[in-house]
Amino acid sequence: MAAIVSDKLLDWYDAHARDLPWRARPGEPAPDPYRVWLSEVMLQQTTVAAVKPYFEAFTSRWPKVEALAAAPEEDVMAAWAGLGYYSRARNLVKAARVVAEMGGFPDTEAELRKLPGLGDYTAAAVAAIAFGRRAVVVDANVERVVSRLFSIREPLPGSRKAIRAATDAITPKSRAGDFAQAMMDLGSGICTARDPKCLLCPLERDCRGKAEGDPALLPVKAPKKAKPTRQGTAWWIEREGAVWLVRREGTGMLGGMRALPDDGWSARGDGSGEAPIEGSWEARGVVRHAFTHFAIELSVERQSGAAQPEGEGEWWPIAELDDAGLPTLYAKAARLVLA
């Protein structure tokens, strides 16, 4: 079955591969490892559509890993704003600096895994796609395809060991990078989470999930736990066409990023901090945002003609606020005030 599956999938990929800015077309030389690594980091828990403009902006500004290594971390964080999971951006800079010191990316999965922020998946993807190494590449799309192909019915995440073993069994020795990308394309466009397009699938006749009934029921997922909701307040302090922005602590949630001053909701969880200046505040409403492990309801209050707050910060021109690189939560708060 293994050779049949890989041959069918690669034939399908040769005809239907997505045209993506970080990829080489089937039969072309492998892409720059920097572009593969950057795209894979960006694509973690983020859609291709969301990543494309960020990838193009990053590679225009920092076309090589050495350029990214030389960039100030705060510039990279600002350029990353809106992609979420900001520890990825901090690790991006750290890894770029290690790679620049080494004189280039290592070409094996084991050595790639030693770079900051590169887990098993990213190391395998870069090894396979950029260096042609045989590596077992398993992302959410591959989990879905393989669960259905082999009818693996143990719920996630417990089934991941069986999924990896099954993926290993069908990964070919040659064209491992194309095979990995073919699996991703199949999962994103054909073997979708809802309403899989089985009639268009090159593996339909080999799919045990299809033969046994409804493949859309796979993979089985354990029930999600309800996210707790935190409460907090952010303050919009305005003066002469500018708003007061602070730099968040370098570690922790949204670390190192510009933001509106707030009541410490991320550190304490109870929103118990006091306003940074005295005076009369105008309630502007509430913005809601979901993080990985909790949601936040952030009340936004405004004061204009305000005095200079104590502590470190900067007056940022409101007309140029898009250039501040505010994380999504605070960008939502800004839009609420400016609506």
Catalytic residue among 28, 40, 278, 301: 40
Fold of 229-338: Nucleoside Triphosphate Pyrophosphohydrolase (3.90.79)
pLDDT for the residue numbered 45: 86
pLDDT-derived band at 153, boundaries 50, 70, 90: very high
Tell me if residue 301 is catalytic.
Answer: no
The 10s digit of each residue's pLDDT in 77-128 is 999 999 988 889 999 999 999 999 999 999 999 999 999 999 999 999 999 9
| pLDDT value at 309 more than 60 | yes
The 10s digit of each residue's pLDDT in 10-53 is 999 999 999 999 999 998 999 999 999 999 999 998 999 999 99
Q: Are 264 and 251 in contact (CB under 8 A)?
A: no
Q: Are 254 and 183 in contact (CB under 8 A)?
A: no
Question: Considering only CA atoms, which of 209, 138, 212, 205 is closest in space to residue 170?
Answer: 138
Q: Where are the domains of the chain?
A: 2-217, 229-338
Q: What are the C-alpha distances in Å from 25 to residues 15, 227, 291?
A: 10, 41, 35
| pLDDT value at 307 more than 90 | no
Fold of 2-217: Endonuclease III; domain 1 (1.10.340)
pLDDT for the residue numbered 267: 66
Torsion of CA 128, 133, 139, 144, to 10 degrees: 110
pLDDT for the residue numbered 224: 84
Predicted TM-score of the model (pTM): 0.85
pLDDT for the residue numbered 270: 58
The 10s digit of each residue's pLDDT in 249-288 is 877 788 889 999 999 998 655 556 789 999 899 999 999 9
pLDDT for the residue numbered 2: 80
pLDDT for the residue numbered 234: 96
Mean pLDDT confidence for 223-228: 88
Question: Which one-letter amino acid corresponds to residue 144?
Answer: R
The 10s digit of each residue's pLDDT in 168-201 is 999 999 999 999 999 999 999 999 999 999 999 9
Burial class (CB in 10 A: 0-12, 13-18, 19+), 167: buried
